[in-house]
Structure 1
Amino acid sequence: MSKRSKKFLFIDGPPYPSAPVPHIGTIWNKVIKDCILRFERLNGYKVYDQPGYDTHGLPIEVAVEKQLGITKKQEIIDKIGVGKFVSLCKEFALKNASSMTQNFINIGVFMDWKNPYYTLDNKYISNSWALIKKAHEKGLLEKDVEVLHWCPRCETTLSDYEVSEYRELEDPSIYVKFKVKNEPNKYLVIWTTTPWTLPSNVFVMINKDYDYADVQVGNEVYVIAEKRVKDVMKESGIKEYKVLRVYKGSELLGVQYEHPLKDLVKAQASLDSYHVVVDAGEVVTLEEGTGLVHSAPGHGDVDFEIGKKLGMPVVMLVDDRGNFTEDAGKYKGKYVRDASAEIVEDLKNRKALLHASKIVHRYPVCWRCKSPLILRAIQQWFIRVTKLKTDLLKEIERVNWVPEWGKTRIGNMVKELRDWVISRQRFWGNPLPIWVCSKGHVTVVGSVDELRKIALNEVPEDLHKPWIDEVKVRCGQCGEEAIRVPDVADVWFDSGVAFFASLGDDWEKKWAELSPVDLVLEGHDQLRGWFFSLLRAGVILTGKAPYESVLVHGFMLDEQGREMHKSLGNYVEPSVVIEKYGRDVLRLWLLRNTTWEDAKFSWKSLELTKRDLQIAWNVYVFASMYMSLDNFDPQKYSFSDVRNALKSEDLWILSRFNRLLRDVKESMKNYKVHELANRVMQFIVEDVSRFYLRLVRSRAWVEGDDPSKIAMYYVLYYVLKNWAILASPVIPYTAEKIYRSFVVGGKLSVSTELLPEVDPTLINDELEKAFDLVREISEAGLNARAKAGVKLRWPLKHAYVFLKSRDDINTLSKVKEVLRTTLNVKNVEVMEIDSLHKFSRVVAEPNSGAIGKEFKQLTPKIVSYINENREVVAEDVLEKGSHRAIVDGIETELKISHVNIKEETAEGYAIARFDSGAIAISKELSKEEEEEGLVRDIIRRIQFMRKQLNLNVVDNIVVSIVPPEDKKAIIEKWKDYIKSETRAVEIVMDSAEGDLVNEWEIEEDKYVIGIKKT
């Protein structure tokens, strides 16, 4: 933390330390966070950057159970002991968290690693209790019975949002006959894929507005929804049947039936009077089944709610292990899913089974142990957050969601909100701070200090089970002894209170000073997870969302778009990537992905990223070498000192950088790190390396303190120093190395700098437009050279640029010299596209080839027509891309019907089009241009050989060369130029010797070149 006045409060979405090495997707998450925090520090904020770990819950319990070789919850109590088990869980969590920390530090995540928050910490637990107390004070905390998902392996309940994993499982698919009372041979037909719930059946649901049918099959009559008759008969293999009558479902209401297993199930003895048909409205659908739904309020949430309204009993015959209880009669002690087959057989023996088959369907499994879940009516502690739905939706609207669709997703989830099941029947968790006396009075404590004030015995330092269970308190209402409920809190409670529980001592005072949280960010799955948990906790505690902005990021996938898992063989360890490419390459690749979209891992993309980073590094190498060579000291100069020596390319790069700075600052207001990463790299690679340096390189070769060279150095230093600062959140290792080796009189670290201020006076829209046009024309020029087979390093005589707009011509006129340089031509002529007649005269000059001849052969009337209708003809030329006039018409009715310039075959010229016009380059090379092109090729080879010998820019060499006989005179003529370009003190002909000798082929001729360091 710094002494800066503006605060930036960040709360880390705590990763779960179930493994020592974080997934590469978790690395992406942490790198995004690090990039934003680094940027906000540079932006002048006092950043609160405490990392955290979510350390309680089932994943760690299951992992420790595997280590101990146990599979049952009771074994923890009987064989291990709860205290030892909890201690092992704590040890496991802290060990993995420590390992993960080292991985995060290694990738350059700069957070307060000396002071992370752990949800297992006693101070954190104590702080968290304030939320449950607040819920109790608001009348939101209740103990009640509801049907919830239950894991029989872990022996605990799960909330709806924890039921996120499904697997394809095979289950029975059966049609069962419930005999209608007092009507011989008439049956209600129901369909179920959970036969084990039939012993708990209480009533049958229909929709009274549907049409139902009595269907005769043999001597029996089946009641089925009319629209389902055909499908049920087909699936049951019944071909002979007759619909006796069709009637409204309302006629069925109150019809009584007999349970087919009543003699086998003890609990059914008292349920006979409840076995009736009831209306459930739209709950009953006709997409599958029979239109009559078997209902067991103890094992179905919808059944439970409807049964509750109708005063039906809740029959739940399954224990915590998923086994049938005593009241299940014949099925007592049997695991429910295993008992289904026996139940089907018993139905068959009682002739209550119409049809039995198998179905493979998506079935919910435990998110950690992967066991199939069951639904049970069980007593749990709830926080009635449904009472807060309006406040939650209002707060969602207030928050800044990036991207916007995050608001829609979480909003839709809250609209379907259910009450929060806060209790869990496990050991390793945050103990619920709820004590109940024998009279049922509830005492909730809001901190360990409060607990000490009312405790009847000593409060342990470790607030976990089993030690906290020993603490008794005095009931505030009756004065009797109260005992803590045995449950621990939902693990999402732990992370959901992080916004205040992580603040340590005096959290209330700190929260008052620091709130709200400026940013939270996680993957899009956390919209229904952590983001919602924080929102829910914030509204309970303070009435508001605890955060101002939420940033959502995507998932890490493989190249085929699959999630990366070791079991699929497509998982890549972050350390493998780092070893091969380095930290900053991985960071840069991760951050360039659009944040809220899924990222597809790609070795090729990493290779391309490495190349871009190398280009950036080479820019600094170039600048450092030449500035050192000339002893350039940036502290000696100010902008006013160099202003008059600045060229258009200098003003352009200054404009581009300040625009970059302005745009990036704007993007980062919404934490768009991908725009930051992409823009800074595009600037250094495209604007600086591939364009600006090409234009100014020769200025660095001028001897002495030339004003133009000094101005170029000043601009380059300004841009590169500030670029390193701006890029440091993305590539901190590279930026730090650049900063320390390149910046003169810098601070301790690039990370202690502040972002440079945008200078709006340096942003020049018109100049940038001109350079955009230059780059567009230059690209077209390269295309034209490619058609002509002429390399860019070969200078050409002429280039003719035709533009649609007079404004473009005026714009280009200001940077015509830059255009000439980028095109590598001696002369550039710029004209409007309707000046085709002028171009026709140019190409019609002697020795210009077929094009000129064709124009010469045009009749005077056609020439006159072209001159009089230049705009029309020129537009046709531009649209159709032609300069060979094909005239179709009669002298009395002259028309130009088609103009066809064939770019590839224009003799003497190569032509290419671009959005704003077209360019024609002369393919003719003069003797001098041919010589210059050859000499540049030789220089290029010598420079390459210098690199092979790892020579410094200041090292002098002797060049020896054996050229073709007819090229000796050319080399002799250009000897001084070659020496100046290669730092050669001497050029020796007809021999090739030195520290390195290479043979080269240049334009199909053989050259042997040797270089030696002097």
Structure 2
Amino acid sequence: MTDTSTKLDYSKTLYLPQTDFPMRAGLPAKEPEFVARWQDMNLYKRLREDARERPLYVLHDGPPYANGNIHIGHALNKILKDVITRSFQMRGYNSNYVPGWDCHGLPIEWKIEEQYRAKGKDKDEVPINEFRKECREFAANWIKIQSAEFKRLGIEGDFENPYTTMAFHAESRIAGELLKFAMSGQLYRGSKPVMWSVVERTALAEAEVEYADVESDTIWVKFPFAQGPDDLASAHVVIWTTTPWTIPGNRAVSYSPRVGYGLYEVQTAENDFGPRPGEKLIFADALAEESATKAKLTFKRLRTVSAEELAGMTLAHPFEGLAGGYEFPVPLLAGDHVTDDAGTGFVHTAPGHGREDFDAWTDAARDLEARGISSAIPFTVDDAGYYTKDAPGFGPDREGGPARVMDDNGKKGDANKAVIDELIARNMLFARGRLKHSYPHSWRSKKPVIFRNTPQWFVHMDKDLGDQTTLRSRALAAIDETRFVPAGGQNRLRAMIEDRPDWVLSRQRAWGVPICVFADDNGNVLKDDAVNARILAAFEQEGADAWFAEGARERFLGDKANEPWTQVRDILDVWFDSGSTHVFTLEDRPDLKWPADVYLEGSDQHRGWFHSSLLESCGTRGCAPYDTLVTHGFTMDEEGRKMSKSLGNTVTPQDVIKDSGADILRLWVMTTDYWEDQRLGKNIIQTNIDAYRKLRNTIRWMLGTLAHDQGDEIAYADMPELEKLMLHRLVELDEVVRSGYDSFEFKRITRALIDFMNVELSAFYFDIRKDALYCDAPSSLKRKAALQVVRHLFDRIVTWLAPMLPFTMEEAWLDLHKEAVSVHLEQFRETPGAWKNDLLAEKWRKVKDVRRVVTGALELERAKKTIGSSLEAAPLVYITDPELLAAVSGLDMAEICITSDITIKGDKGPLDAFVADDVKGVAVVSQRATGMKCARSWRYTHDVGLDPVYPDVSARDAAALHELEKLGRLAI
């Protein structure tokens, strides 16, 4: 055979990676192609068919409002849900995701009203069902837009058949749940102070309120004694409040038996108004001096006033004699809510304007009536914020008309000034000031709310339901049975259920499911199965608009139409709607199940959807509609500030997708501690782009290498140790991945896989095996075993990551598996337990320690330019640690360290040898390799030139070339 080496381009004889999988992902352009492909092939339907016989795993979607483009919070939320459903789908479940939307309530009604106002229209002049039709159309349009935005994120679900709270069936089922509360006696009409939005003209739930700082008028008010010991006859009790406008609603003053009180006499006074020398006032001792300072007074303490003295005493209202409306006694009531931390130690009690005030008043109602004191609660402020006739001197009888607490724009009215002026005129103002404090605002209008006593519909929290349980006790028991991720969510939800008042269901709005009951003048609800059946049947066919149609009362009441039943026109709290979604989705859809395996939402939903779903289900079914609650935090900017348009620090999912792709956004979600608040900005996005690029390039190398895979199967027993080590690591990673998906710890999975790909594959295993994979003969067992392991690595890593990075993993999977339909129709590969080998892993941990010292020594030589490639080196390695020496014995350490040769000695190295501080007992002396450089593999060996046909390559490479030639794979 003649010398043909000069005719060959040896690079063409190597098994170099070959792939069309691009290094540059081009995700913004590529991802929409996959969205269209999945839609064209109806991937959702294929997934359902594929999983038809598997057990259901159901994540029930908390419904976003259908009223605007999605924001970063939506993206975070939906991506987390998608990863959960996909991961269970790929692990043997039928994990069906049904998206849903909340369509009723103020967010949408407010938008339509804004459009009306812009056109100079009044919604009250439009027939209610026409207005409701516009709300329905508005919501339907945004559902369509948000669906497209969610699908662009890679979310897979039943977007063709989502659930919506405005669907006729849903409205009928929501109404049916309300009627269950009514028929069981849990629904009642009551008069309580609720948070009221003057701007929006409706009651608000706690979940619809946010807190912001405001500056309020503060006043100290004197209440004279109407009854008491002689030395108190001319004394006054002093209260402090930040809501002067509530004084006309005062009906009592609360004190605490745990607080020490004293009778004080004014010695000097510098104020233009207020107490004068000689006046006697009662304060908590701990607050007397501070109060005197506020009023620019000096006090002299006369004596102690005991709680026993205060009990049973009555005061006069500071407005006694005004318009003949305040002639009632003002009792002193003991209250647990009273402290001596701030104020005066006495609490002004207006039961129509605060929950604690209401509770203190109603708790004492029976005793008050026995003392001849009426326990009635006045309605002092109407829905527009004006004083009513129950506030004489400030209401309609006032010259110039009633004073107003707040106007239609949420601005402070003239009520405070009117009250303060009257107190000054009556010498009942002790002092005044201003205070900056946190105050509730409507999260929609961003305007302050007021606490206002109004007739509303409530659900009892503490009424015996006939089985020695209450709604509260049922909910608390259900919390104990629920798994919380993270665990702290349990205490948060428990505290909210323990402390919450009765559930206010009514809203004074137009768009939503009505409180579809009939009641008499006393609030008693008509309980008639036939009437209820007619209501629900009409809602099923026509939607809740049927309640507002002409002739609805007569239609539903039937033969009871002549009886004095009033049709309730209030709308249900939208949280009742969303709290009922488990009924018309989980119960009613055959492709779902009740209860859900998991609910996942932001941590604010402990007082929102988690909360209302729990109460609704416990009230009608006695238990929670979910087994697990997962919560996520909120997204801040890179400096930890809340995102806002005014700060210019918002990051929108649309912008991230346009610039970088949805998989980059998804990778960010997967690498965050999402249980806490997360941060996002340009630098963080770039960090994720860099991580993605490394991950993609590792997958790309595997694809290129597997282009030469012939599917050979090497028995585990015949595999080299290095391959067995990688299979062992797959067993360990399989456990991390599966347990991570089970516990919703996605960061643990991504961290483990990214580290594995960067450190153990790219920088270790692939680095070592490139020589065998590129250069070994086709028959090489080592090469075949390595290809088999790369195949195992690829199939597992790509399927493990598919729930997280659906676009990239689909692209990679279809690139290798040409016959495949979609990676998302695959299951996670089973990883044989027989691959686990802890002894081998421990041995190779020691081998890696030795390799790390050698690599450190070579890095120094490269820095000094003594060598270029590590293949130019043949280091001497001195090992005195017997365990390390035993670990490397029998291994080709030159191959492992990627040098042309290596010498291992069980001796102590010279003083100038390289050592590493973290690996004891290893020293390295660098040496250049001897011999000749192989023109094909670039290793320096002493057998280059022994083959006459290929005289410039090593014997190994010459043998490979001969084998390739025999197989006809070498063009000479």
Instruction: Indicate whether the TM-score tops 0.5.
Output: yes
Which residue, 922, 940, 947 being the options, matches 2:925? 922
Most deviating of 460-469 and 316-325: 460-469
Q: Are the equivalent residues in 1 in contact too, given 2:597–2:626 (CA < 8 A)?
A: yes
- When residues 770 and 604 of structure 1 are mapped into structure 2, their CA distance, relative to the original with a 3 A threshold, is farther
1:791-821 alpha-carbon deviations (Å, 9 max, x no partner) = 78334333536576x555544446x425762
1:338-379 alpha-carbon deviations (Å, 9 max, x no partner) = 210221122112222121111111111112112211112222
2:601 is paired with a residue whose SS is strand
Q: Are the equivalent residues in 2 in contact too, given 1:554–1:596 (CA < 8 A)?
A: yes
1:741 is paired with a residue whose SS is helix
1:334 is paired with a residue whose SS is coil
- When residues 596 and 797 of structure 1 are mapped into structure 2, their CA distance, relative to the original with a 3 A threshold, is same
- When residues 706 and 445 of structure 1 are mapped into structure 2, their CA distance, relative to the original with a 3 A threshold, is farther
Q: Which residue of 1 aligns with 2:67?
A: 18
Separation of aligned partners in 1, 2:237 and 2:439? 27
Separation of aligned partners in 1, 2:744 and 2:61? 15
In the TM superposition, 1:931-950 aligns within 5 A as none
- When residues 561 and 932 of structure 1 are mapped into structure 2, their CA distance, relative to the original with a 3 A threshold, is farther
**2:286 partner amino acid:** K
Q: Which has the higher contact order (CA 8 A, sep 6+)?
A: 2
1:558-600 alpha-carbon deviations (Å, 9 max, x no partner) = 1111222223211012121112222212211211212312221
Q: Which residue of 1 aligns with 2:269?
A: none
1:426 is paired with a residue whose SS is coil
- When residues 448 and 830 of structure 1 are mapped into structure 2, their CA distance, relative to the original with a 3 A threshold, is farther
- 2:67 is the counterpart of 1:27: no
Q: Which residue of 2 aligns with 1:535?
A: 614
Separation of aligned partners in 2, 1:828 and 1:265? 108
2:495 is paired with a residue whose SS is helix
Q: Are the equivalent residues in 1 in contact too, given 2:486–2:630 (CA < 8 A)?
A: yes
1:170 is paired with a residue whose SS is strand
Q: Which residue of 2 aligns with 1:954?
A: none
Q: Which residue of 2 aligns with 1:738?
A: 812
1:244-299 alpha-carbon deviations (Å, 9 max, x no partner) = 22231321334333323234355324x2xx2232322x321101111122211111
2:61 is paired with a residue whose SS is coil
Separation of aligned partners in 2, 1:37 and 1:458? 31
Most deviating of 220-229 and 131-140: 131-140
How much does 1:976 deviate?
5.6
- 2:288 is the counterpart of 1:229: yes
- 2:339 is the counterpart of 1:285: yes
Q: Which residue of 2 aligns with 1:389?
A: 472
In the TM superposition, 1:611-626 aligns within 5 A as 611-626=690-705
How much does 1:235 deviate?
1.8
RMSD: 3.4
Separation of aligned partners in 1, 2:156 and 2:537? 43
1:856-876 alpha-carbon deviations (Å, 9 max, x no partner) = xxxxxxxxxxxxxxxxxxxxx
- 2:800 is the counterpart of 1:715: no
Most deviating of 374-383 and 247-256: 247-256
In the TM superposition, 1:428-443 aligns within 5 A as 428-436=511-519, 441-443=524-526
Which residue, 204, 212, 218 being the options, matches 1:167? 212
Q: Which residue of 1 aligns with 2:6?
A: none
Q: Are the equivalent residues in 2 in contact too, given 1:168–1:363 (CA < 8 A)?
A: yes
- 2:565 is the counterpart of 1:502: no
2:512 is paired with a residue whose SS is coil
Q: Are the equivalent residues in 1 in contact too, given 2:198–2:450 (CA < 8 A)?
A: yes
Q: Which residue of 2 aligns with 1:196?
A: 245
1:323-342 alpha-carbon deviations (Å, 9 max, x no partner) = 11133233222212521022
- When residues 620 and 166 of structure 1 are mapped into structure 2, their CA distance, relative to the original with a 3 A threshold, is closer
**1:348 partner amino acid:** I
- 2:424 is the counterpart of 1:348: yes
Q: Which residue of 2 aligns with 1:829?
A: 904
How much does 1:666 deviate?
2.1
Most deviating of 521-530 and 464-473: 464-473
Separation of aligned partners in 1, 2:895 and 2:877? 11
- When residues 275 and 607 of structure 1 are mapped into structure 2, their CA distance, relative to the original with a 3 A threshold, is closer
Q: Which residue of 1 aligns with 2:832?
A: 759
**1:51 partner amino acid:** P
Q: Which residue of 2 aligns with 1:860?
A: none
Rg comparison, structure with higher value:
1
- When residues 65 and 452 of structure 1 are mapped into structure 2, their CA distance, relative to the original with a 3 A threshold, is closer
1:92 is paired with a residue whose SS is helix
- When residues 976 and 609 of structure 1 are mapped into structure 2, their CA distance, relative to the original with a 3 A threshold, is farther
Which residue, 478, 481, 500 being the options, matches 1:398? 481
Which residue, 31, 37, 49 being the options, matches 2:97? 49
Q: Are the equivalent residues in 2 in contact too, given 1:539–1:545 (CA < 8 A)?
A: yes
- 2:388 is the counterpart of 1:325: yes
Separation of aligned partners in 2, 1:685 and 1:721? 17
Identical-residue share of aligned pairs (%): 26
1:114 is paired with a residue whose SS is coil
Separation of aligned partners in 1, 2:439 and 2:207? 15
How much does 1:648 deviate?
1.7
Which residue, 356, 363, 372 being the options, matches 2:439? 363
Q: Which residue of 1 aligns with 2:747?
A: 674
How much does 1:90 deviate?
1.7
In the TM superposition, 1:102-501 aligns within 5 A as 102-163=148-209, 165-181=210-226, 185-217=234-266, 218-238=277-297, 240-265=298-323, 267-269=325-327, 271=328, 274-280=329-335, 282-311=336-365, 312-332=375-395, 333-336=402-405, 337-338=412-413, 339-386=415-462, 387-436=470-519, 441-443=524-526, 450-451=533-534, 460-463=542-545, 466-467=548-549, 470-472=552-554, 473-474=556-557, 480=563, 482-501=565-584
Which residue, 907, 911, 914 being the options, matches 1:910? 914
- When residues 544 and 453 of structure 1 are mapped into structure 2, their CA distance, relative to the original with a 3 A threshold, is closer
How much does 1:447 deviate?
11
Which residue, 123, 143, 150 being the options, matches 1:76? 123
1:37 is paired with a residue whose SS is helix
Separation of aligned partners in 2, 1:157 and 1:315? 17
Q: Are the equivalent residues in 1 in contact too, given 2:847–2:884 (CA < 8 A)?
A: no
- When residues 618 and 167 of structure 1 are mapped into structure 2, their CA distance, relative to the original with a 3 A threshold, is closer
**2:479 partner amino acid:** I
Q: Are the equivalent residues in 1 in contact too, given 2:99–2:162 (CA < 8 A)?
A: yes
Structure 1: gaps (5+ residues) = 832-837, 844-850, 852-906, 939-972, 985-1013
Which residue, 547, 555, 579 being the options, matches 2:634? 555
- 2:658 is the counterpart of 1:579: yes
1:668 is paired with a residue whose SS is helix
- When residues 223 and 437 of structure 1 are mapped into structure 2, their CA distance, relative to the original with a 3 A threshold, is closer
**2:82 partner amino acid:** D
**1:174 partner amino acid:** I
Separation of aligned partners in 2, 1:525 and 1:704? 61
Q: Are the equivalent residues in 2 in contact too, given 1:65–1:71 (CA < 8 A)?
A: no
- 2:82 is the counterpart of 1:8: no
1:67-122 alpha-carbon deviations (Å, 9 max, x no partner) = 222799x94213x4423322222222222221111111011000111011111111
How much does 1:518 deviate?
1.1
1:674-704 alpha-carbon deviations (Å, 9 max, x no partner) = 2333333333333322222111111122343
Separation of aligned partners in 1, 2:258 and 2:696? 75
Q: Which residue of 2 aligns with 1:798?
A: 875
- When residues 110 and 220 of structure 1 are mapped into structure 2, their CA distance, relative to the original with a 3 A threshold, is same
Q: Are the equivalent residues in 2 in contact too, given 1:265–1:327 (CA < 8 A)?
A: no
Separation of aligned partners in 2, 1:682 and 1:87? 55
The two structures have a TM-score, normalised by structure 1, of 0.78
Separation of aligned partners in 2, 1:169 and 1:247? 36
1:331 is paired with a residue whose SS is coil
Separation of aligned partners in 1, 2:432 and 2:243? 12
Which residue, 803, 824, 848 being the options, matches 1:775? 848
Count, aligned residues:
854
